[in-house]
Amino acid sequence: MSLVIGITGGIGSGKSAVTDRFEELGIVVVDADKVARVVVQPGGPALDAIAEHFGAEVLLADGQLDRAALRSIIFADDDERRWLEQLTHPLIGQEIRQQLEAAGSPYVMLSSPLLLETSQSALADLVVVVDVPEAMQLQRTMTRDNNDEDQVKRIIAAQLPRDTRLDQADIVIDNSGSLAELDGIVAELHREFLARAGSRAS
The annotated binding site for ATP is made up of 12-17
Smallest distance from ligand COD to CB 87, Å: 9
For the segment 105-134, give every residue that binds ligand COD (CB under 6 A): 112-114
**Radius of gyration, alpha carbons of the chain:** 17
| Rounded Cα–Cα distance for residues 117 and 159 (Å) | 8
- Answer for the pair 95, 38: CB distance below 8 angstroms, yes or no: yes
Give the shortest CB-201-to-ligand COD separation in angstroms: 29
Question: For residues 72-131, which are near ligand ATP according to CB under 6 A?
Answer: 113
State residue 28 phi and psi, 5-degree precision: -75, 130
Contact 31, 18 (CB under 8 A): no
20 binds ligand COD (CB under 6 A): no
- Which residues in the 6-65 window bind ligand ATP by CB under 6 A? 9, 11-17, 33
Tell me the number of residues near ligand COD by CB under 6 A.
19
DSSP-H helix ranges across the chain: 15-24, 32-38, 47-54, 67-74, 78-102, 134-144, 149-157, 162-167, 179-201
The residues of the shown chain that bind ligand COD, judged by CB under 6 A, are 11, 32-33, 36, 67, 70-71, 74, 81, 84-85, 88, 92, 112-114, 155, 158-159
The residues of the shown chain that bind ligand ATP, judged by CB under 6 A, are 9, 11-17, 33, 113, 140, 144, 175, 177-179, 182
